[in-house]
Amino acid sequence: MAGVCCITPPQDERGYSLKGVKRSPVVPKVAFTATISNTLSGLNNLGQPLVFDDVHLNIGNGYNKQSGLFLAPVSGLYLILMTISTDYSTGPDVVVVRNGSRLCATIPSMNDHLYAGSPCNVIVQLMQGDEVWAKVYSRFATDRIRDGMWSTFSVALLSMDGSTSS
Amino acid sequence: MAGVCCITPPQDERGYSLKGVKRSPVVPKVAFTATISNTLSGLNNLGQPLVFDDVHLNIGNGYNKQSGLFLAPVSGLYLILMTISTDYSTGPDVVVVRNGSRLCATIPSMNDHLYAGSPCNVIVQLMQGDEVWAKVYSRFATDRIRDGMWSTFSVALLSMDGSTSS
Amino acid sequence: MAGVCCITPPQDERGYSLKGVKRSPVVPKVAFTATISNTLSGLNNLGQPLVFDDVHLNIGNGYNKQSGLFLAPVSGLYLILMTISTDYSTGPDVVVVRNGSRLCATIPSMNDHLYAGSPCNVIVQLMQGDEVWAKVYSRFATDRIRDGMWSTFSVALLSMDGSTSS
């Protein structure tokens, strides 16, 4: 099925434009990784940000461990990776949202007494100031979210929007 | 176990070559994210591309929502992220392939009446014109793939191959 | 909740510094993807590296398929993606560690006779010479890890640390 498909690669490193592809300037480092310091249960804060309170990385200070919000410091293409693991219990559905709109969703398990990990991974375009956070979408009586690196939330900037003139 | 392991970092930004590591020119933006607008069932199209018809991002226009194929617009290193969630049912195995060869595979569940999400995540080298798509690998009578951001497919270019001369 | 949040984007491509964000020089290509050539069982090597012996990509030669160790060839921000799938069995917990310290963890299933895939995905800062590997954290009598692209391990360099002077 291949054929006459493809764009012309750039001529050099300083900015000849690509047909149909916006090129990126040098990418600043923006990234965070946070986990949960104690297993969560009794999750009745539907709609409120789920706080990953143990911060392992926060380059660019986009992530706020008090609020659980990531605020995009620059506009660009971002990678979002979240894993939610249950802890001998049913697991809640946890979603990641951008300014309140769902980007991806986990579905760890609806069976009791089952451990399981479930991913919410997505590549998104964020504008400077956009907010990204996780929240519980639906829950069951015995919901638990496991600590100890079994539940993780990471975001990284892949490429930044910007002027292509030099 | 560390020791004399490591390559010498580049001297500046304009191209002193790395020993043992190909360096990349400025990276164009190529990325897509697509989801499924309605929960799928009765999946009997083994071998045919699984179409993620709801396109949220398609920078570089590599993804075709009619065919379900991603066509690499440039050669380079790509990140592939797919999540398949079942919907109160057994889940099919879904694989991601490059030109027909399997890159990674999900295995959501073989238990009835179980929700589960399963990942297929991989970093690959694609040549310009390579085709990447998802397909059902094996299935069960009640297979369902859940819509609503529970099943997602994203690809992004991490770095582009190209001339290192300046 | 947005507001006066954001850093000033860079003025051009050659290095005006960002407030609060370290900028990156040109990123060399470092990436590997490896899988398991034969389904593993009888996993009693807790603490020892889990060897993904089938190498599909190894740009920069950071991954050693004899030892199962990835040795970071340069300091920078890295993406780690691992998926562990069980094979009609309970699944072991598998963790990814940096120099012995846990970065993320999978929890495929504690139910017998269940297929499941579980992710361990994280963004980390590595120093040149840091070692990253997977290991079994806890296990059950019938543990099996599935081959054939159902269990994958990938790492890629997202951006390299380096001099910001020009």
Number of domains chain B contains: 1
Whether the CB of A39 is below 8 Å from some CB of chain C: the reply is no
Q: What is the pLDDT of residue B57?
A: 97
Residue B9 lies in a domain: no
End-to-end CA, chain B: 38
pLDDT above 70 coverage of chain C, percent = 72
pLDDT per residue as tens digits for the range A95-122: 999 999 999 999 866 555 466 788 999 9
Contacts of B116 in chain A (CB under 8 A): 107-109, 116, 118
Kindly report which listed range (A60-64, B65-69, C22-26) carries the lowest average pLDDT score: C22-26
Give, in degrees to the nearest 5, the angle at Cα B142 between B139 and B148: 95
Domain with C149 in it = 31-160
Residue B101 confidence class, pLDDT cut points 50, 70, 90 = very high
Say if C14 falls within a structural domain. Answer: no
Computed from CA positions of residues A127, B150, A133, A154, in that sequence, does the dihedral angle turn out positive or negative? negative
CATH of the domain at B59: 2.60.120.40
Q: What is the pLDDT of residues C110-160, one digit of tens each?
A: 555 466 788 999 999 999 999 999 999 887 666 788 898 999 999 999 998
For strand A70-71 and strand A131-138, is the pairing parallel, antiparallel, or unpaired?
antiparallel
Residue partners of B159: CB distance under 8 A and separation at least 6: B24, B27, B76, B77, C27, C29
Please state, as a whole number, how many other Cβ atoms lie within 10 Å of the Cβ of residue B166: 10
Q: Is residue B5 part of a domain?
A: no
C105:A166 CB<8 A: no
Q: For residue C20, is it within any domain?
A: no
Look at residue C115 in the predicted model and tell me its pLDDT.
Answer: 66
**Residue B60: which region, alpha, beta or left (left: phi > 0; alpha: psi -120 to 50)?**
left
Distance CA B105, CA B122 (A): 10
A83/A95 Cα distance (integer angstroms): 10
Domain presence at residue C75? yes
Give B45→chain C minimum CA distance, Å: 21
- Alpha-carbon gap: B101 to the closest alpha carbon of chain A (Å): 14
How high is the pLDDT of residue A41? 85
Question: Between chains, do A124 and B33 touch, taking CB under 8 Å as contact?
Answer: yes
A140 within a domain of the structure (yes/no): yes
Chains that touch B (3 or more CB pairs under 8 A): A, C
* Structural domain includes residue C7: no
- The DSSP code sequence of A50-78 is PP--EEEEEETS-B-TTT--EE-SS-EEE
Tokens of B140: 């069960």
CA pair distance A144, B5, nearest whole angstrom? 42
The answer to whether residue B56 is domain-embedded is yes
If we measure between CA atoms, which residue out of B36, B32, B51, B34 comes closest to residue B146? B36
Check residue B129 and report its DSSP letter: T
Q: Does the pLDDT value for residue A29 go beyond 60?
A: yes
ipTM rounded to 2 decimals: 0.83
Q: What is the pTM of this model?
A: 0.85
8 Å CB contact between B145 and B36: yes
What's the rounded Cα separation, in Å, for the pair C117 and C88?
11
Angstrom distance (rounded) from CA A138 to CA A95: 9
Task: Find tokens 């963004």 and name the residue.
Answer: C123
